[in-house]
Amino acid sequence: MLAQAQTYAPRIDFAKLATCRGFPQQTAGRIMAVSTLEKKAPGQNLFSEGDNADNLYEVVSGTLRLYKLLPDGRRQITGFLCAGHILGLAPEGTYVYSAEAITEVTLCRYSRRALERLMDEIPGFARRLLTVTSHELRAAQDQMLMLGRKTALEKVASFLLMMAEQQGSDEAVEVSVPMSRADIADYLGLTIETVSRTFTKLKVDRVISLRARNKVEIVDRDLLEQFAAGDGDRDI
């Protein structure tokens, strides 16, 4: 069952939301009229795999983990989403993964039925959601590459660059990494010990610096990108 939502009304610049960006104010107002703001505490479930996909969500702030449970109980994390990402697209009518808050998360919840109606009424809105779907597909393909072909060092380097890109800039120096080493291991298909050793190696090689809790400073982006691409890689 879906967790009980906590609704509230903070000040949000709706024009900056991915669903509204670029649309005239009147059109954005129509989109926001079918939405509700929600807040989730760390560890709180947003929805579970198999639930009816009655809503679409956009992350306003905070970080979510997406995951699937294997038949033997093991967990495979399929993604981490932060501000600007949309989730809950489910063509078959049920969610195909579970979503859970890592940090305190603010979300914009959209009624699926209302959005489908707006797709027929607002020119360009269906194309906007199609673009979001394409981004989800690309992220899934990137993860398949990481799980299937990359070494541990390549995986962790790629993960850090992905987090930097998600946080708004290819030139980001300080990257927020709020998830646990266990989360990162479940996402990359590694053990916790291997993830920890790889972070230590990158720190010793002065590629990154671990200066604060849940913060990673990228000291040498060029070398991190080389590791991610497999150039000069020395596996862990």
Kindly indicate the confidence band of residue 5, based on its pLDDT and cuts at 50, 70 and 90. very low
Residue 33: its pLDDT value, please?
A: 86
212 and 100 within one domain: no
Amino acid at 192: I
Nearest-10 crossing angle of helices 152-166, 192-204:
80
112 and 15 within one domain: yes
Q: Higher model confidence: residue 48 or residue 9? A: 48
Residue 236 lies in a domain: no
47 and 101 within one domain: yes
On the 0-12 / 13-18 / 19+ scale of CB atoms within 10 A, 24 is exposed
| Chosen domain end from 146, 181, 210 | 146
| Chosen domain end from 116, 146, 176 | 146
| Chosen domain end from 146, 175, 206 | 146
What pTM value is reported for the model?
Answer: 0.83
Residue 52 lies in a domain: yes
Instruction: Show the domain range for 111.
Output: 6-146
Kindly indicate the confidence band of residue 131, based on its pLDDT and cuts at 50, 70 and 90. confident
Instruction: Tell me the residue ranges of DSSP E strands in the chain.
Output: 6-7, 35-40, 45-47, 55-61, 64-69, 75-81, 86-87, 98-101, 105-111, 174-176, 208-212, 215-218
Which CATH number does the domain housing residue 223 bear?
1.10.10.10
| For residue 176, pLDDT beyond 70 | yes
How far apart, in whole angstroms, are the C-alpha atoms of residue 100 and residue 80?
10
108 and 213 within one domain: no
Residue 234 lies in a domain: no
142 and 34 within one domain: yes
123 and 40 within one domain: yes
45 and 110 within one domain: yes
138 and 154 within one domain: no
Read off φ and ψ for residue 208, nearest 5 degrees.
-135, 165
| For residue 133, pLDDT beyond 60 | yes
How far apart, in whole angstroms, are the C-alpha atoms of residue 78 and residue 98?
10
Structural domains counted in the chain:
2
Residue 171: its pLDDT value, please?
A: 63
Q: Are 30 and 99 in contact (CB under 8 A)?
A: no
Residue 1 lies in a domain: no
DSSP calls for 119-145 = HHHSTTHHHHHHHHHHHHHHHHHHHHH
Residue 2: its pLDDT value, please?
A: 40
Report the mean per-residue pLDDT for the chain: 85
Q: What is the pLDDT of residues 20-76, one digit of tens each?
A: 877 888 888 888 888 899 999 999 999 999 999 999 999 999 999 999 988 888 888
117 and 57 within one domain: yes
Residue 177 lies in a domain: yes
Q: Are 235 and 217 in contact (CB under 8 A)?
A: no
Q: What is the CA radius of gyration of the chain?
A: 19
Q: What is the pLDDT of residues 90-119, one digit of tens each?
A: 878 899 999 999 999 999 999 989 988 988
Residue 145: its pLDDT value, please?
A: 72
Q: What is the pLDDT of residues 136-169, one digit of tens each?
A: 667 667 777 777 778 999 999 999 998 998 886 5
Which CATH number does the domain housing residue 23 bear?
2.60.120.10
In three-state secondary structure terms, 17 is coil
